[in-house]
């Protein structure tokens, strides 16, 4: 093919892409496990430690083969190329970064590592009883009782909204906090609308 023909072919291909988008065969050939941009992460609470089901971005500077997004397994570990299994549960992102940096020095002259939290799935709160949708809900940076009830679809028709309780484990001891939905939803006694903590259970009778 002559140079002129190659230029015409390239121009025709570019025009087709602009008019019709990337063809399906090209989309399917694209890698699906490419690492996400290292700067993209979620807001992390001050007391956050890594837990099972959390999604982390592990990025080794100038080492794309070692970088990528990993999900913390139920056993609390993540697996990375060359490094292998590493315990992540119970560590802060900074502590995990330091641990990976030390492990990386066995294979790299300069193991510069960044750990980004992509998704927080380990921090959960629970709601049960007379709501539209009971169950576990992820706890991000903040969530109060009224917001959790809204996520659960609201209280059911015959719920006793003035007798809702929050069960909280505090250093091995179960605390019971009272919540009057009828008052709070009308803007009264708002101090009851506490910020939820991981593991809290809201009971709607």
Strand partners, 84: 80
Residue 147 pLDDT > 90: yes
Task: Say how many C-beta atoms besides its own lie within 10 A of residue 56's C-beta.
Answer: 21
Calpha distance 170→146 (Å, rounded): 21
23-50 tens-digit pLDDT = 433 333 333 333 444 557 888 888 899 9
pLDDT at position 142, please?
Answer: 84
- Record the pTM: 0.63
| Range of lowest pLDDT (8-17, 87-96, 132-141) | 8-17
Residue 55 pLDDT > 60: yes
SS3 labels along the chain? CCHHHHHHHHHHHHHHHHHHCCCHHHHHHCCCCCCCCCCCCCCCCCCCCCCCCCEEEEEECCCHHHCEEEECCCCCEEEECCCEEEECCCCCHHHHHHHHHHHHCCCCCCCCEEEEEEECCCCEEEEEECECCCEEEECCCCCEHHHHHHHCCCECCCCCHHHEEEEEEECCEEEEEEECHHHHCCCCCHHHCCECCCCCEEEEC
Calpha distance 201→91 (Å, rounded): 24
Phi, psi of 204 (to 5 degrees): -110, 105
Q: Are 164 and 180 in contact (CB under 8 A)?
A: yes
Q: What percent of the chain has pLDDT over 90?
A: 65
Query: Which residue in 98, 73, 198, 71 sits closest to 142, CA to CA?
Result: 198
Average pLDDT, the chain: 83
């Amino acid at each position: 093919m002559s140079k002129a023909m190659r230029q015409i072919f390239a121009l025709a291909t570019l025009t087709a892409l602009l008019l019709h988008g990337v063809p399906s065969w090209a989309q399917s050939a694209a890698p699906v496990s490419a690492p996400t941009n290292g700067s993209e992460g979620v807001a992390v609470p001050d007391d956050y430690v890594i837990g099972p089901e959390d999604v982390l971005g592990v990025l080794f500077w100038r080492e794309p083969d070692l970088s990528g997004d990993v999900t913390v397994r139920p056993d609390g570990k993540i697996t990375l190329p060359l490094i292998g299994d590493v315990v992540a549960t119970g560590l802060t992102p900074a502590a995990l970064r330091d641990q990976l940096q030390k492990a990386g020095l066995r294979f790299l002259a300069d193991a510069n590592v960044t750990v980004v939290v992509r998704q927080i799935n380990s921090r959960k709160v629970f709601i049960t009883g007379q709501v539209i949708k009971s169950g576990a809900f992820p706890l991000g940076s903040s969530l109060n009782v009224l917001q959790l009830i809204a996520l659960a679809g609201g209280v059911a028709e015959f719920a006793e909204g003035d007798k809702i309780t929050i069960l909280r484990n505090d250093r091995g001891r179960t605390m019971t906090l009272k919540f009057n939905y009828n008052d709070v939803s009308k803007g009264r006694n708002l101090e009851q609308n506490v910020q939820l903590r991981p593991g809290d259970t809201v009971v709607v009778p």
